A and B are shown apart, each in its own frame.
Chain A
Amino acid sequence: QKEVEQNSGPLSVPEGAIASLNCTYSDRGSQSFFWYRQYSGKSPELIMFIYSNGDKEDGRFTAQLNKASQYVSLLIRDSQPSDSATYLCAVNGPYGNKLVFGAGTILRVKS
């Protein structure tokens, strides 16, 4: 079982729609959760982080965490073509500071 799993996609949504990206993790001791956006040929850019169960909103982005289900998601409202990228879910465990990444979900927003 992979430590962090994401659907590879591609996930295609029309412009203006809500994009929903999902991630599951295996280590129940994980404490912090991150979403990175990576454009083709570029490095990952941190867009959201969440530490507590529930929702966290930042502009068009909402991160949702359910530790009991070991599930974290990212919602992108009013999706724009510029949101087309690979979205990486990363998890940090209770020991040390390494991030464990999923393989990423490719998002395509069509105008």
Chain B
Amino acid sequence: DIQLTQSPSFLSASVGDRVTITCRASQGISSYLAWYQQEPEKAPKLLIYAASTLQSGVPSRFSGSGSGTEFTLTISSLQPEDFATYYCQQLKSYPLTFGGGTKVEIK
């Protein structure tokens, strides 16, 4: 199985900050990576797919990059509604796997 390691697992930031979350895969997955945002008690929401393609309707302050084994999700200017948990997911091979999550909290 392909393991995904997210870092950090927790981060504290302020409104307006630039935030970067990293996702490392245990083996190469090309660009078969998606990022999701999950607010408390809600279903996950797709942000980015194919490592860097912004899902329709997602604000442009979100961006993704990377290929192979290292990927990043960047929020260019953190907004109050961005405080949530973020997950990466590899879609290269079954079983599909998720990273452990990164909780973004208000400083």
Question: Is the A/B pair a real complex?
Answer: no
B contact residues vs A (CB 8 Å cutoff): none
